[in-house]
Amino acid sequence: MFSVIVNKISMMIGGEAGAGITRSGFLFAKACLRGGLHVFGTNDYQSLIRGGHNFYIARADSEEIYSQADTIDLLLALNKETILLHKDELVQNGGIVYDEEESTLTEGELGRKDLKLFTVPLTATVKELGGTPIMRNTVALGATTALLTYDLDILNEVMRDTFKPKVAEINVKAAKKGYDYAREKYASEFDYRLERTTPNGKRKIFLTGSEAVGLGCIRAGCKFYAGYPMTPATPVHHFLAQLDREYGMIVMQAESEIAAINMTAGASFAGVRAMTATSGGGFCLMSEGLGMTGMTETPIVVMVAQRHGPSTGLPTYSCQADLRFTIHASQGEFPRIVIAPGDVEECFYKTMDAFNLAEKFQIPAILLTDKYLAESHGAPEFFDQDRIGINRGRLMTNDEYADEEEYKRHKLTEDGVSPRAVPGMKGAIVRTNADEHNESGYTTEDSELTTRMADKRFKKLDTLVRNLESYETTKLYGSDEAEVTIIGWGSTKGPIREAMKLLGKERQNVNYLQIMYLNPFPAAKVRRILKSTTKTIVVENNKTSQLSSLIREHLLTAVDHKILKYDGRPFNPGELSRRIMEVL
Amino acid sequence: MVTLEDLKTPKKNTWCPGCGNFGILMAFKKALIQLGLERDQVVLVSGIGCHGKMVNYVNVNGFHGIHGRTLPLATGIKLANPNLTVVCFAGDADCYDEGWGHFSHAIRRNIDITLIVHNNMVLGLTTGQTTATSQKGFRTKSTPFGSIPPALNPIAHALVSNGTFVGRGYSGDMMSLTGLMAEAIKHRGFAFLDVFQPCVTFNYLNTYDWFKERVYKLEEEGHDYTDRQKAIKKSFQWKDHIPVGVFYKEERSTYLDGLPHVKNQALTKIPMEKVAITSLLESMI
């Protein structure tokens, strides 16, 4: 290969846990973003703190990208294991940056001769600077910048914005050392280049799905968060905990997920927007509390970041196997909403939707994400903070209840939604009850009232379904006349959109339907879209194709093909496009 | 000023005649009157069990939650609006079995709420099974040959968990119980009151007579409630001589004191519309 590839790179950095892998990948991707490129970043780590193997893939491109690629162009290997594990993912003539003193490679071990080996004295450089071992990454990033003939100033700027001044300066020095070394030794040897381009005017931000959920939560006016640490939901907690003082919130670590959801319900009952987040195992513990919020009509938002299961499964890997669980969790029947954002941008807007809908209908709203979405970095456009306003439904915000009639928390109304006072309001006694209750919240066992109260709660569902007609509950990508429709939900969005790019001339005939609101299921919309389709392909990260079963339940039709993956890893675009081609 | 009449509800009481809960119910109402609290500023949280019906019998704000979870529910309510007086009622099974984990943490956090446990040493509403405070050897439908482990000691536990108000009452002495409840509610911090409450239907052992023979008041012995070590010693008194009253009391910073940005301000009063996140977004460019 002799041609030079400009502004199209898939870079992997790998090493032991605790070596700052994700941070380095983040710095690289952000430097690319600042240079005007489209970027995506995703990490892969094991359930341990030191040792083991972690990696981060940062991809940058002059065209829009939505996920990682199948292959790597450049590997930054902080240990030998990284090289041995990933050498076969490297493209023809791909490059490896590593420290020869630490990773002595024999040709036999490498097994291929095309790779370009860029040895850089990572450890020696750090020692010379009197830095900590974690700075080896920065030396490697500096060297990478030189290999790609990119602008070191951008990397420096990103580091200065990310680190505290003292830390930033020593890292800037380390990057410069790596840069100078590689530029001198390997000038123009690598086929890949990055160039600063002019972005198309739109400001972009670089963040994870978790951070977007956190931002949505703050912007939605949430004032209370309680959670118990569980991967991959914890980053939302970390994000909010840093900011609670600034935003007048209480962010607290509960003693368990059971406590967390009950605290959340308590705070909401007292009148503030409240949220909790967890993963499948924690959500199991929350199930009873979730039902209580349904019965007591207490609006809460629960983010469930799915990970591989059942049980502890692969704690740090992704999965989409909790769709049915979130739709059905807890005993009895009550309305709830389940929303699955598909990318970082949707994480923000859908979180705001979740708070509004929860309060408008006084029901629990579940935001369903997964490890891949929660921890991957995307670069959406600067969020439009005013796109979604705040709607608190029938919440009464006066300090005093002035009506002559006694206040009834569960008053029967035409649409099922009762006026909502909160305790502390003068003149109103606010009483609710996890037992079946009458309008005033007193326990009842009366048969007629039991039926009426269940009907009341489900009237809210009817109202919600009508209300959702004006929401973007689904998105269609590609021609609406295409004969083949790929159907997915949640984080498969990125890989599906990438895979569609790879379908060649078949591309014209394939569209992609993303279902964002899974419960209540937007049956009418989905039916309308599928009307002109002759072949449906469901793509999911689970074993039993839970979305297919939902489609069958609500549309009374079977999907034609299911493409499933349940090894904890997201689909890669090439892999997915091949599997799509097989069934086209 | 609130009256007994104001606190009445239209709900018919369904506790067994002679139930120890009646003493707790009346003491609570009287304590509210004594403290001059307004009905709409008090939140009563209850769990599941006979005690849970308290929500039906006192006309104040109420949340009848699920089994064992009164404390986290009350925690959320209080943190969201510290101006409310939050009183949590739980049963012995509710708090010491199902909700034991929350008990320790609520004590540790020292949030300004009150926990009153209706301790009848038996599960009543499920028709008589053993609980964490049932005496060793106590025979029930679930333990026909007698409860095997010894009973938990919630008072000792609260004391070693650094509780700032640890007391025990007896529903057979409604006057003293009223005073204790008022003191507990007034306490700035987490106040815990375990209340002996005879179950006349399912507890054949710990009856009114049984308590009458054993219960004595700590104050009558001149107990120094500022001395935790002495309180711990007292908490192990059982068998023939069982103390009631305040075991231990101290003022200590509360959980909210550790949150200077919201200290005693209702979160409901913090503006929640148009929260500015522009600088956060800009930091992500």
Interchain CB contacts (distance < 8 Å): A and B: 205
Tokens of A224: 């209370």
Tell which of B9, B71, B275, B282 to mutate to test the A interface (max A CBs under 10 Å): B275
CB-based contacts of A317, cutoff 8 Å, min separation 6: A44, A307, A308, A371, A567, A568, A569
The DSSP 8-state label assigned to residue A400 in this structure reads B
Are the beta carbons of B40 and A427 separated by less than 8 Å?
A: yes
Contact A345, A494 (CB under 8 A): no
Is any Cβ of chain A less than 8 angstroms from the Cβ of B239?
no
Chain A nearest-CA distance from B237, in A, is: 31
Nearest CA in chain B to A288: B66
- Which residues in chain B are closer than 8 Å to A223, comparing Cβ atoms? 80, 267-268, 270, 272
Is any Cβ of chain A less than 8 angstroms from the Cβ of B73?
yes
Nearest CA in chain A to B282: A205
- Which residues in chain A are closer than 8 Å to B84, comparing Cβ atoms? 270, 423-424
Return the residue matching tokens 């909502």: A420
Domain count, chain B: 1
- Taking residues B169-196, what's their average pLDDT? 98
Is any Cβ of chain A less than 8 angstroms from the Cβ of B283?
yes
Contact A33, A206 (CB under 8 A): yes
B128: domain CATH number is: 3.40.50.970
Q: Where are the alpha helices (DSSP H) in chain B?
A: 4-7, 21-35, 54-57, 70-80, 92, 100-109, 154-160, 174-186, 208-214, 228-235, 278-282
Tokens of A203: 């400001």
Residues of chain A whose pLDDT is less than 50? 1
Nearest to A442 among B9, B43, B80 (CB): B9
Nearest to B268 among A215, A256, A422 (CB): A422
Q: What's the mean pLDDT when you consider all of chain A?
A: 96
**Domains in chain A, ordered, with CATH?**
5-193 (3.40.920.10), 207-378 (3.40.50.970), 475-583 (3.40.50.920)
Range of the structural domain that residue B119 is part of? 4-282
Nearest to B75 among A207, A245, A266 (CB): A266
CB atoms within 10 A of CB B226: 10
CB-based contacts of A522, cutoff 8 Å, min separation 6: A468, A473, A474, A515
Chain B nearest-CA distance from A270, in A, is: 5
**Residues, chain B, total?**
285
Tokens of B105: 């943490």
Phi and psi angles of residue A350, each rounded to the nearest 5 degrees, phi first: -70, -30
Return the residue matching tokens 């590997």: A75
pLDDT at B264 over 80: no
- 3-state class (DSSP) for residue A159: helix
Chain A nearest-CA distance from B241, in A, is: 36
Tokens of A279: 């993963």
Identify the pLDDT of residue A530: 96
- Which residues in chain B are closer than 8 Å to A296, comparing Cβ atoms? 63
Identify the pLDDT of residue A102: 84
Tell which of B32, B38, B73 to mutate to test the A interface (max A CBs under 10 Å): B73
Nearest to A435 among B10, B43, B64 (CB): B64
- 3-state class (DSSP) for residue B72: helix
What's the ipTM? 0.98
pLDDT tens profile B125-139? 999 999 999 999 999
- Which residues in chain B are closer than 8 Å to A219, comparing Cβ atoms? 275, 277
Closest CA to A394 of A363, A368, A362: A362
Phi and psi angles of residue A160, each rounded to the nearest 5 degrees, phi first: -65, -30
Identify the pLDDT of residue A54: 94
Print the SS3 string covering A477-513.
ECCCCCCEEEEECHHHHHHHHHHHHCCHHHHHHEEEE
- Which residues in chain B are closer than 8 Å to A426, comparing Cβ atoms? 38, 40
CB-based contacts of A421, cutoff 8 Å, min separation 6: A396, A401, A407, A409, A428, A430
Identify the pLDDT of residue A527: 97
Identify the pLDDT of residue A198: 80
Tokens of A59: 């991809």
pLDDT tens profile A458-513? 999 999 999 999 999 999 999 999 999 999 999 999 999 999 999 988 889 999 99
- Taking residues B44-57, what's their average pLDDT? 98
Tokens of A251: 């962010």
Closest CA to A9 of A113, A149, A120, A140: A149
CB-based contacts of A223, cutoff 8 Å, min separation 6: A248, A249, A250, A267, A272, A273, A274, B80, B267, B268, B270, B272
Nearest to B53 among A34, A255, A443 (CB): A443
Nearest CA in chain B to A263: B76
Which helix (H) or strand (E) element contains residue B90? Answer: strand B85-91
Identify the pLDDT of residue A2: 59
pLDDT tens profile A101-145? 888 888 789 999 999 999 999 999 999 999 999 999 999 999 999
